[in-house]
Structure 1
Amino acid sequence: MDLDPALAALRPLGAFSVLHVSRPAPARPAATPLAHAYTPVYGDPAPDVHPDPLGFRVRKVATALGTTEHRVAASVAHQGLAARLWSVALACAVLYGHIPDLDPGRLHWDPDATAPDDLWLTVVHARPSDAGTLADAVLTTHLVPLADAVHARWGVADGLLRGNAASALAGAGRELGRWARRHGRTGTADRARSLTAALLAHPLLAGTGTLTGTSFRRRSCCLYYRVPGGGVCGDCCFRRPPGQN
């Protein structure tokens, strides 16, 4: 199936896998091309560019979680954006057989919004859906500069951020597979599983955890246990929050 201009095939999967398409991008106070999230425009930005979308998002997440540890909020915000990007790319790959070009200059992000209203493209250009192209579209183009920014600004460890990227990928693949099996689309589920496994073997993600079927156990922790009232995630390297017996 060819990519349609509205990416309508993604809508039945639920909000987290939806990617809006609009040219021009909707005018929203906090919205900006994702390229500017990785390299904030301080000083006097253009009128359509938010000066610091990533910082805005981290502060918003910190408030929502009730934490004063911005390192923790930065990790959670990083994993959330990684999960959105993987969900969109994987869904397009398995449903269309192509992915859209996710150029960070054309992929817009509203850090004040939730899925599906946080991401939209200004135009759809098809790319192949093999694992190498997916890795280039998501890992190299987005998650590497995102991790660099989060590490530099909030001191989140590189290994933790690689674990976040892998955990987000495994979760996106698992949810896509579950949706496909519920609807009797075993071929789609198999494609989601094989792409997820191939991507987790990529040099940028290799060694971040162990994939068994669709279950993933990471070798790092996203720090969510440090949120007031938080615990460990289902794929965490810890069985219980550190410090608890």
Structure 2
Amino acid sequence: MVLLLVVDLDPDLAALRPLGAFFVLRTIGGTPGTARPALPTLAQVYENRASDVYRKSVTFRVEKVARVLRAPEPRVAASIAHQGLAARLWSVALGCAVLYGRVPDLSARRLRWDPDASAPDDLWLEAVEPLPGDAGTIADVVLRGHLEPLTAALHAEYRLATGLLWGNAASALAGAARQLGHRPGLSARARALSAELLAHPLLAGTLDSTTLRRRSCCLYYRLPEGGVCGDCCFTRAPRSSPRGTSG
């Protein structure tokens, strides 16, 4: 059975819900009576201009991830937090492009984020304004609008290698496409979009073009109960050093 594209982006983005928690995006004003949450926009987060409670929202999120996962050092938690947010952004954008043929404007000034929420990251969209669902638009919205400033912030704060962070972004994109590929009628479109996005200069070369295995490591293996991910550049966890060498 082939799933037909929905013509219009509905105010609640309801077609995303059956795809799972990483794809769901709550909208402000979509459902009648929905309150505007007192959360920072991602634009404020990237610029460290959020409210007093969330003034250091990225640091707050990294520290929360570190506590929950018992990360041995902040940069491990920062990498995992980065990949989690990247996965949410890619999932929403790809899910909409595949199901609706268009994407909502997911610019950082429109998306609100709760850094204290559990995984997957809690995102709220101010309003559903349609944009084209092509790879170029998705790259502008997700890569340029979100992952570039987030990568810069985490590199500056935690000294994570930019190659590691772009590897996270590519891995999250491939994972979102893989999840969509499990749905009848969505696989071909998801593969085509993800292949075009992975060829973007910011992501090109981060994954093996044949196997989609990473050329960097997200540091997950350094968690107390961690191991290697399915697309890791390592086939088994390397022996840890005090600062690690795989970033």
TM-based fold match above 0.5: yes
**Correspondence 1:223 to 2:219:** yes
- Contact 1:17/1:116 (<8 A) preserved: no
What's the TM-score, normalizing by structure 2?
A: 0.88
**Correspondence 1:239 to 2:235:** yes
Give the aligned partner of residue 150 of structure 1: 154
Structure 1 residue runs of 5 or longer lacking an equivalent are none
- Contact 1:6/1:20 (<8 A) preserved: yes
In 2, the alpha carbon distance for the partners of 1:173 and 1:61 equals: 25
In 2, the alpha carbon distance for the partners of 1:16 and 1:114 equals: 12
Q: CA deviation digits over 1:60-110, x for unaligned, max 9?
A: 000011123000000000000000000000000000000000111110001
1:131 partner letter: A
Shift of residue 26 of structure 1? Answer: 3.6
Task: State how 1:98-137 maps to structure 2 within 5 Å.
Answer: 98-114=102-118, 118-137=122-141
CA gap 1:109/1:115 in 2 versus in 1, 3 angstroms: same
CA gap 1:46/1:162 in 2 versus in 1, 3 angstroms: closer
In 2, the alpha carbon distance for the partners of 1:91 and 1:46 equals: 31
Of 47, 71, 87, 1:39 maps to 47
Give the aligned partner of residue 164 of structure 1: 168
- Contact 2:40/2:51 (<8 A) preserved: no
Q: CA RMSD in A?
A: 1.7
Of 56, 59, 69, 1:55 maps to 59
- Contact 1:25/1:122 (<8 A) preserved: no
1:38 partner letter: Y
In 1, the alpha carbon distance for the partners of 2:47 and 2:223 equals: 27
In 1, the alpha carbon distance for the partners of 2:197 and 2:20 equals: 23
Structure 2 residue runs of 5 or longer lacking an equivalent are 1-6, 241-247
Shift of residue 56 of structure 1? Answer: 0.8
Counting helix residues as a fraction of each chain, which structure ranks higher? 1
Give the aligned partner of residue 17 of structure 1: 23
Q: Which runs of 4+ in 1 moved over 4 A?
A: none
**Correspondence 1:202 to 2:210:** no
SS at match of 2:15: helix
Give the aligned partner of residue 189 of structure 1: 187
In 2, the alpha carbon distance for the partners of 1:235 and 1:117 equals: 22
Of 26, 37, 51, 1:27 maps to 37
Q: Percent identity?
A: 62
- Contact 2:90/2:173 (<8 A) preserved: yes
CA gap 1:209/1:38 in 2 versus in 1, 3 angstroms: same
Give the aligned partner of residue 7 of structure 1: 13
In 1, the alpha carbon distance for the partners of 2:35 and 2:203 equals: 32
- Contact 1:20/1:117 (<8 A) preserved: no
2:224 partner letter: P
SS at match of 2:16: helix
88-97 vs 215-224, which moves further: 215-224
SS at match of 1:74: helix
CA gap 1:159/1:145 in 2 versus in 1, 3 angstroms: same
